Structure 1
Amino acid sequence: MLWRYPLVVSISMCLFPKIEAAYAQSTTSDPQVLPPVVITGTKPSTKPGRERTATPRVRSKPTVAVYPTTPIAGSGIESDKVAASVYTIDANQLSQTESLNISDSLVKYVPGITVNEVNGNPFTPDIQFRGFTASPVSGTPQGLAVYQNGVRINEAFGDTVNWDLIPTAAIKSVDIVTNNPAFGLNALGGAVVVQMKDGFNYHGAEIDTMGGSFGRIQSSAQWGKQIDNFAVYGALEGLHEDGFRNFQTSNVRRFYGDVGAKNDDAEFHINMGVADNDFGAAATTPVELLQQFWGATYTTPQTSTNKVGYVNLTGKVEVSPTWTVEGIGHVRVFNQNTQDGNPTGTQPCDADATLLCFGDGSTPANGLNGAQLSNPFDPSATLGENDRTSTQTTTTGFSLQATNTDQLFGHNNHFVVGTSFDYSVTHFTASAELGTIGPDYVVSGSGIFLGQSGNPVSDGPVDLRTTNQYTGLYALDTFDVTNRFSITGGGRFNVANINLQDQLGTALNGSDNYTRFNPVIGGTYKITSGLTAYAGYSEANRAPTPLELGCADPAHPCIIASFLVSDPPLKQVVSHTVEAGLRDTENLSLGTLSWKFGAFRTENSDDILNIPSPVLQGFGYFQNVGSTRRQGFEAEATLKSDKLLVSASYTFLDARFLNALQVGSNSPFADDNGNIQIMPGNQIPAVPRNVLKARVDYSVTDAFKVGGDALFVGSQYFVGDGSNQFMKLPSYAVFNLHASYQINKTFQIYARADNIFNNQYASYGTFFETDAVPNFTNGGAPFTDPRSLSPARPRALYAGLKATF
């Protein structure tokens, strides 16, 4: 038993142990994945008296989670009958990635998905799909709905998605669902549906520990067991990494557990999770600093702490052989604290340098007591400010869904009707502490806090209570016209009520209501036994968030996610999507060939963008910008045999503005008033037109596996360059390698090499005010290059040990 001691020591090196299953992980079939090196555990035996007397409903084809309430696997429909693109990642694929970061698997396996590290930390990424984003960064217009075990986890205050809170080892499957309004608000570009493991579909235990470049050490452990009609599952994860950039330390600590019970007609689960993560977010850095040191940072500290705790009760009851009722009740508590060092609009007054002014040399900068602040700073000091926010949200809700599979007019039919209700209460506070920026670009606080300062700008404290009530009612029906031809139709009615209650006065008070019915219609036709054609049309909507409603006036810009002011209402965003394509699976002499080709077009009306203030560095506002369009196609092919898997995909995406508009910008091509003119047909910034992916896995022996993958992302316009006048952010290519060796039935060693050619590239680019802070690395002279980039990780090497019991 001495072999256990190094494992225990390695786990204790992390803040939490991580658990990851190597066997009995998922029953999801995926013809695109090479069988992993796993040890198959003992399957639960079927005991006498447990057999069902009725004929069981056996599905011979994989199903997809195409409805929001999917607490139990199998409540979707056959993938061949889905009138949209179908992308599924199972637990085996997640395990092969050897990462506690879900974005690594999404980028690797799903065509069209790209990642922007605008936040400057790999564990808090922007995930982009078809030009729509799910981001943890407040102020990012969100366009993807994300569900975990049937519960929507877009945070209430800004619809943000904190990917770091999802326990990766505990994931059973991830479905990327397009062209379906059943997923409610924010499903403009689609939905990401994460289904977690439980003790019925995972048996055994695993401990997985990995370490490597930039001080990374991570460990996980998971365990699942079924005893007759009861099952239990638990997973722990812990990670520490110093990062390749200054101030980029990451600490991840997560737990997930599930207790379930079932019989022949019903299944119930209570699952819970907690996480406590903190990050150094290095954000974008001026090019001139990166040219001297690729890990440089600009105006820090930039830190965030995310905490979450949730409990879900899920159930599924087969009321009759053809009626199934599913339900979820949930409670989720989220807490986030951020600190962000920034340049400041505060400066010595022109008329009297012993006083401070804000925004210009004459508007008084006031303290918390409303009196103008005196100037205690040295005349040679560079002033900055530490902006702090606190967001505390409690969300409760339920969803209920009924499924019927009775035949209709003698034809197979799959009918679903459901409803959901979510109620969220958020307490949001913000403050700004004046300080000085040192030669290392660190903002040192002075203990002096800004109050409301001037008009039209505001930088004072905020204390806001918001409530969100989201109600939805949906119905969808899939009808088999023939054995080959199926049609789907239905829709969802959404109601969103958002209230803002100012705790310091009345300026932020407001109440907004948004309603809309979103239809969907589509069909699939099986041309041959393996080849299926599909086509569909749908609509979806996104209601403005409390954050956006609190910062929508160009005359009163805010430090995004920090300071809010009373603003005019925004219109909701409505998307119109049409999609069509082909998918095929054929058994050849070389192996199984699967391929997909699909074209899509989504047009948004009253789209909302974050517009930089033309007056103040770091300030901005939200604005409806008319219509935008995202269109393109995705192609993917995979050949899989017993020893070899080869896969490649290509995505073309064209994202454009459809209306002329004038917006504020920090672009070097902005006019004297700080505005740019966007013309119809201009490309939307930060959306690459071309994405190419390829991967190869080869079994040298039954125990020894090797493989590699490549990613090419095309050029894209800088954020702020909606007029398309500046050069593009260059395209980039990344190549990775991996290998594993199964020592015996218990132990496996593995290794990863990321960015093997050490390519220096940036995944995100924007502009900054070159004269806001001196270039201390150049003797204090002003910066001359307006580009500010988020540098990507250099070459990284990792190795790990996995033990399966």
Structure 2
Amino acid sequence: MPGTGVETSHIPAAVNKIDASKFEQQSSPSVVPTMLINVPSVSTTNESGNSFEPDLQFRGFLATPLTGTPIGLAVYQNGVRINEPFGDNVHWDFIPPDAVHSMDIVTANPVFGLNALGGAVVVQMKNGFNYQGAENDFVADSYGRVQDSFQWGKQDGNYSAYFAIDGAHEDGFRQRTSSTIRRLYGDIGYKDDRSEVHLNVTAADNFFNAPATTPVELLNQDWSAVYTTPQSDALKMGMISLQGNTALTDTVTLAGTLYYRYFSDHHVDGNDTDVQVCDNTSLLCFTDGTTPAIGSNGQQLPNLFPKDAVLGEIDRNNTRTNGWGGSVQMNDTATLNGMDNNFVFGASLDMAESNFNANTELGTVDPNTFVVTGNGQFLGFTTSDQGSIGPVKLNTTNTYLGVYGLDTLDVTKRFTLTLGGRFNFANIDLSDLLQTGSNSLTGSHQYARFNPVIGATYKITPDVLGYASYSESNRAPTPLELGCSDPNLPCIIDTFLVSDPDLNQVVSRTVELGLRGKTNLSGDQTLGWNLGFYRTDNSDDILNVVAPIGMTFGYFANVGKTRREGVEAAVNYTKGDWSLFASYAYVDATYQSYITLNPPSGDPAGDGPVNVVPGDHISRIPAHHFKFGLDYNVNDRWTVGGNVLAVGNQFFGGDESNENPKLPGYATVNLHTTYQVTKNMQFHAEIENLFNKRYYLNGTYFDNTSSVGSLVGGTNTDTVTPGKPFSVYAGLKVTF
């Protein structure tokens, strides 16, 4: 556990650690592909549809940039929690890979606070003490990507400095998916024999076109096709943090962190609409031919669109968050009754204020399903029997307090016992700046829970270690989920909030056991391996539920019990100039409660209720993951290698009763090479998807009977995220 001083051999859970050298092997401007290759149970469904903005799935739990997706992983950068306070989502694009010193993907452990249902990702950035020198890396690829990164680090006695800046632009292999990334990270440090202090700054200004899924029949005509655009995110982030630690005695260390973080997201989403021309009038109606569509002036909207125009809408929302907080941790390594012992005690406080605004403007849809606006018709409060849509102005405040302790005791030279827990308290206040009355979003919600952890490791032989643990974690509902949790007043997910009935917090209970080992074989051969099993049961899990009316309406609800369980196996082998790795992970994600849901629009199974029974698989979670990689040093200058990533099939999003055909699995072959041209200049290249295999990362359904859906034609209602075709990257890295 980073920061606690606990040795890896004493951690009673699977250990997934990635060092800086792994990130240096990747040309991607995102950290996710490196995790995808190196961690057995990591996969991505890339719901955004943009390779610059991927999501991360670990053991069936998500950490995604998409607001409105239930999150099950906690993410930390230099000890600061970077899950966004409004929706708990994670923007991986804010982390420059070249500036990462190490990354730990930790399995379920309550010490990591809220959202660590499936685990936590702990990122430690570089500083001038662990990186010296200067390096510039320029990369270009076959889809208009141009990226450049520069990093510099220096130590001068007790002082250090580190700076990294990078930028990237890509046209993308899909239409209207151009993206731009601009980031910087800096650190100033001081260290002496007893203390160390770091002041660091992270900033990003990124823009993504992220068109999500495309109907299969459009992709059959053109692999680059997109559906209902524009869909974009303009993101800004700035964070300053101060970390320090000092040795109070020979065995007691005190550490602390303070931070301030700013975040903004301007989201534009072109969509189909539930607005239509009223029956026998020249006015507009909502969801049917009789319910008036009210404009921002409080009057029913007239039909100002051309005859036979296909109507759509642009949904816009803005989120601005100011967050601040800190943590303090004491670590005592004094022996206990002659036994080696490591005791950690700490507390954290995270506070944030968010402002969320949203509106909808009506427009027309061109033959390429691009929504065009221009007549200035904005929807006001429009309410049918079960749905509501209108502008939103919401202010929210989050206060998260945590107090934790963890003790690791070497009972014998072979047997180590871990015992601890964390108390979490969450207070979430919503203040509706626009709505009044029974539909008001104003409300206050409190959640509290103590989560224990107990585990043990046992050294069976000098080279083989066994481990077992039990832990609990929880997550509080987000302000977004609380603002859209009324089944009688569903909303457009992630855009419009209408009321805030309470939701229960999600609680996870995880059992984990396994074996791992590392052996130095004869000569220059080494072998490392691990084999593990886990089961995580969630109670009061939160799901994004489809509403019975309209094509785009839904709400968040507690749906009972779910389970993620599986097996992970990995092996690493080196011999001289050769190195290889292989891993397999099985993730079995199922519902454990009876649930009745409304079918999504376009569900091939029909319009009847979706009856989920215990044992049905959770959609969008592939069961099988196989990874293999090989590297060979041809000579002192030239290295070649490659990897294979294989992912099993999965159920389409919305097919929670498992009645329809699955989204097919896939496998890709990727190659890479480096050549040291001179002492200070290195050429590197990658080929992604060598055999140009067509595959899908994610799937759901769309309504092909709607006015926009009819533009697609055909009968197939599957809509999917296409995988990246054959692509070539080439770069030149220069060190100074």
Q: TM-score, normalised by structure 1?
A: 0.90
Q: Tell me the number of residue pairs that the alignment of Structure 1 and Structure 2 aligns.
A: 730
> CA separation in 2, counterparts of 1:391 and 1:667?
28
Match of 2:25, SS state, is helix
Match of 1:447, SS state, is strand
Match of 1:85 in 2: 14
Question: Quick check: 2:541–2:561 contact (8 Å CA) kept in 1?
Answer: yes
Match of 2:707 in 1: 773
Match of 1:20 in 2: none
Question: Quick check: 2:311–2:708 contact (8 Å CA) kept in 1?
Answer: no
User: In the alignment, which of 490, 496, 500 is matched to residue 567 of structure 1?
Assistant: 500
Residue 669 and residue 117 in structure 1: after superposition, are their counterparts in 2 closer, same or farther (change >3 A)? closer
> CA separation in 2, counterparts of 1:324 and 1:111?
34
Question: Quick check: 1:774–1:782 contact (8 Å CA) kept in 2?
Answer: no
Q: 1:675 offset after TM fit, Å?
A: 2.7
Q: 1:99 offset after TM fit, Å?
A: 2.2
Match of 2:733 in 1: 802
Equivalent runs, 1:102-121 vs 2, <5 Å: 102-121=31-50
Question: Quick check: 2:362–2:376 contact (8 Å CA) kept in 1?
Answer: yes
> CA separation in 2, counterparts of 1:613 and 1:674?
13
Match of 2:310 in 1: 382
Residue 670 and residue 541 in structure 1: after superposition, are their counterparts in 2 closer, same or farther (change >3 A)? farther
Equivalent runs, 1:708-747 vs 2, <5 Å: 708-747=642-681
Equivalent runs, 1:249-264 vs 2, <5 Å: 249-264=178-193
Match of 2:32, SS state, is helix
Match of 1:608 in 2: 542
> CA separation in 2, counterparts of 1:672 and 1:736?
40
Match of 1:516 in 2: 449
Match of 2:698, SS state, is strand
Amino acid at match of 1:790: T
User: In the alignment, which of 565, 575, 582 is matched to residue 515 of structure 2?
Assistant: 582
Question: Quick check: 2:602–2:703 contact (8 Å CA) kept in 1?
Answer: no
Match of 2:380, SS state, is coil
Q: 1:584 offset after TM fit, Å?
A: 0.4
Equivalent runs, 1:282-321 vs 2, <5 Å: 282-321=211-250
Equivalent runs, 1:324-363 vs 2, <5 Å: 324-352=253-281, 354-363=282-291
1:687 aligns with 2:621: yes
Match of 1:162 in 2: 91
1:592 aligns with 2:523: no
1:496-519 residue CA offsets vs partner (Å, 9 max, x unmatched): 000100011331101100000000
Question: Quick check: 2:506–2:540 contact (8 Å CA) kept in 1?
Answer: yes
Question: Quick check: 2:602–2:704 contact (8 Å CA) kept in 1?
Answer: no
Q: 1:668 offset after TM fit, Å?
A: 5.0
Question: Quick check: 2:644–2:669 contact (8 Å CA) kept in 1?
Answer: yes
Match of 1:719, SS state, is coil
1:272 aligns with 2:206: no
> CA separation in 1, counterparts of 2:140 and 2:731?
6
> CA separation in 1, counterparts of 2:530 and 2:678?
38
Question: Quick check: 1:397–1:421 contact (8 Å CA) kept in 2?
Answer: yes
Residue 228 and residue 408 in structure 1: after superposition, are their counterparts in 2 closer, same or farther (change >3 A)? same
Match of 2:487 in 1: 554
Match of 1:486 in 2: 416
Amino acid at match of 1:739: T
Match of 1:435 in 2: 363
- Larger deviation, residues 362-371 vs 141-150: 362-371
Q: 1:76 offset after TM fit, Å?
A: 3.1
Question: Quick check: 1:301–1:341 contact (8 Å CA) kept in 2?
Answer: yes
> CA separation in 2, counterparts of 1:256 and 1:395?
19
> CA separation in 2, counterparts of 1:670 and 1:478?
53
Match of 1:462 in 2: 392
Q: TM-score, normalised by structure 2?
A: 0.98
Amino acid at match of 1:787: D
> CA separation in 2, counterparts of 1:122 and 1:371?
43
Residue 783 and residue 564 in structure 1: after superposition, are their counterparts in 2 closer, same or farther (change >3 A)? farther
For structure 2, the 5+ residue unaligned runs are none
Match of 2:12, SS state, is coil
1:586-639 residue CA offsets vs partner (Å, 9 max, x unmatched): 011261000000000000000001112232112211111100011111000010
Question: Quick check: 2:601–2:703 contact (8 Å CA) kept in 1?
Answer: no
Residue 781 and residue 562 in structure 1: after superposition, are their counterparts in 2 closer, same or farther (change >3 A)? closer
Question: Quick check: 1:685–1:718 contact (8 Å CA) kept in 2?
Answer: yes
Residue 370 and residue 674 in structure 1: after superposition, are their counterparts in 2 closer, same or farther (change >3 A)? farther
Q: 1:126 offset after TM fit, Å?
A: 1.6
1:649 aligns with 2:580: no
> CA separation in 2, counterparts of 1:722 and 1:434?
32
Q: 1:775 offset after TM fit, Å?
A: 5.7
Match of 2:573 in 1: 639
Question: Quick check: 2:382–2:389 contact (8 Å CA) kept in 1?
Answer: yes
Match of 1:216 in 2: 145
Match of 2:327 in 1: 399
1:503 aligns with 2:433: yes
Q: 1:767 offset after TM fit, Å?
A: 0.7
1:127 aligns with 2:56: yes
For structure 1, the 5+ residue unaligned runs are 1-63
Question: Quick check: 2:605–2:659 contact (8 Å CA) kept in 1?
Answer: no
Q: 1:784 offset after TM fit, Å?
A: 1.3
1:151 aligns with 2:80: yes
Q: 1:580 offset after TM fit, Å?
A: 0.2
1:556-578 residue CA offsets vs partner (Å, 9 max, x unmatched): 12111100011321111000000
Amino acid at match of 1:483: K
Question: Quick check: 1:615–1:674 contact (8 Å CA) kept in 2?
Answer: no
Amino acid at match of 2:11: V
Q: 1:774 offset after TM fit, Å?
A: 4.4
Match of 1:291, SS state, is helix
Q: 1:359 offset after TM fit, Å?
A: 1.2
Match of 1:666 in 2: 600
Question: Quick check: 2:380–2:391 contact (8 Å CA) kept in 1?
Answer: yes
1:753 aligns with 2:687: yes
Match of 1:513, SS state, is strand
Match of 2:434, SS state, is coil
Q: 1:545 offset after TM fit, Å?
A: 0.3
Identity in percent? 51
Match of 1:97, SS state, is coil
Match of 2:338 in 1: 410
> CA separation in 2, counterparts of 1:687 and 1:672?
23
RMSD: 1.2
Match of 1:276, SS state, is strand
Match of 1:19 in 2: none
Match of 1:789 in 2: 720
1:701 aligns with 2:635: yes
Match of 1:93, SS state, is helix
Question: Quick check: 2:702–2:709 contact (8 Å CA) kept in 1?
Answer: no
Match of 1:201 in 2: 130
1:536 aligns with 2:469: yes
Q: 1:101 offset after TM fit, Å?
A: 1.0
Amino acid at match of 1:106: M
Question: Quick check: 1:614–1:673 contact (8 Å CA) kept in 2?
Answer: no
> CA separation in 2, counterparts of 1:636 and 1:717?
26
Q: 1:641 offset after TM fit, Å?
A: 2.3
Question: Quick check: 2:604–2:660 contact (8 Å CA) kept in 1?
Answer: no
> CA separation in 2, counterparts of 1:775 and 1:194?
43
Match of 1:289, SS state, is helix
Amino acid at match of 1:599: F
Match of 1:164, SS state, is helix
Q: Which has the higher strand share?
A: 2
User: In the alignment, which of 217, 236, 245 is matched to residue 174 of structure 2?
Assistant: 245
Amino acid at match of 2:719: S
Question: Quick check: 1:242–1:249 contact (8 Å CA) kept in 2?
Answer: yes
